[in-house]
């Protein structure tokens, strides 16, 4: 059974709801899933194997939500080398802001720098386009699942 770690950054709860929805779907697909709550992130360093999905909204002007900021800076400063990790990022944002999905971009860039392999390109979900980001995320997960089953390159 493949294991997936899921973490989220949120201000108003949408990204958390998307992550919870994905956790349920992943379990239904037969993955073992750990959804890391914000207060648990201190104990979480991704291992150099397995699968990681990050879901984060953007706040301020292209900034990470406070609940995931210290985790981001810790991983950035400890800089584990993670060539065996397959990761994906879902960014929630609003295209009326100039730094659309800036936090998602930061997370995506960080894991690329750490040598991890991107399963699918950054998904940007636009609050101007949808009130139900979890639906886009579920469609995306179907693609992700196919990729994980058939197409992971290491």
- Residue whose token pair is 């100039």: 98
Minimum distance from residue 79 beta carbon to ligand FMN (Å) = 26
- Measured distance CA(121)–CA(46) in Å, rounded: 19
- Could you say which DSSP state residue 38 is in? G
Is residue 119 a contact partner of residue 25, using CB atoms and an 8 Å limit?
no
Q: State which of residues 21, 36, 57, 90 lies at the interface with ligand FMN (CB under 6 A).
A: 57
The one segment of 8-16, 22-30, 34-42, 146-154 that binds ligand FMN by CB under 6 A: 8-16
In 3-state terms, what secondary structure has residue 113?
helix
Question: Hey, what are 145's tokens?
Answer: 């699942």
**20 near ligand FMN, judged by CB under 6 A:** no
The one segment of 9-17, 22-30, 36-44, 71-79 that binds ligand FMN by CB under 6 A: 9-17
Q: Which spans of this chain sit near ligand FMN (rule: CB under 6 A)?
A: 10-15, 57-62, 92-94, 97, 99-102, 127
């Amino acid at each position: 059974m493949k294991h997936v770690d899921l973490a989220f950054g949120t201000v108003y709860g949408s990204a958390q709801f998307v992550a919870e929805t994905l956790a349920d779907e992943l379990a239904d697909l037969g993955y073992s899933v750990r959804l890391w709550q914000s207060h648990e992130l201190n104990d979480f360093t991704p291992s150099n194997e397995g699968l990681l999905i990050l879901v984060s909204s953007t706040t301020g002007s292209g900034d990470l939500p406070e609940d995931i900021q210290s985790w981001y800076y810790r991983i950035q400063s400890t800089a584990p080398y993670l060539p065996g990790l397959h990761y994906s990022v879902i960014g929630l944002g609003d295209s009326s802001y100039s730094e659309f999905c800036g936090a998602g971009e930061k997370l995506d860039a960080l894991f690329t720098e750490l040598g991890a392999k991107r399963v699918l390109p950054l998904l940007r979900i636009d609050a101007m386009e949808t009130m139900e980001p979890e639906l886009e995320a579920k469609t995306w997960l179907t693609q992700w699942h196919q990729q994980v089953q058939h197409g992971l390159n290491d």
